[in-house]
Amino acid sequence: MNETRANLDKKTAELSKLKAINFKQAIEEKQAIVNELNQDFVSIKTKKEQLAEMLTSNANKKKTSKKKSSLLQRNWKT
């Protein structure tokens, strides 16, 4: 009976160890997925910021061009 109990304890310990390994692998896999998603998020966020800066720059250039055009038209008339 003691031998059976010892064998059961040993097998239970082995099972716990295997479960821990499987959980560790699952966690590592999920962490890899999260890291990849985070990299994608940062990339998209950076592109969004670059596009916003480009749009602002283009809007400012358009305003400047309109002002210069208006000024040239006024000077041309006089």
**38 is written with which tokens?**
């985070």
pLDDT digits (tens, 9 = 90+) for 4-29: 888 888 989 999 988 888 888 999 99
Domain ranges of the chain: 1-76
Range 59-67 average pLDDT: 95
What does pTM read for this prediction?
0.61
For 39-56, what is each residue's pLDDT tens digit?
999 999 999 999 999 999
Cα separation, 12 vs 15, in Å, equals 5
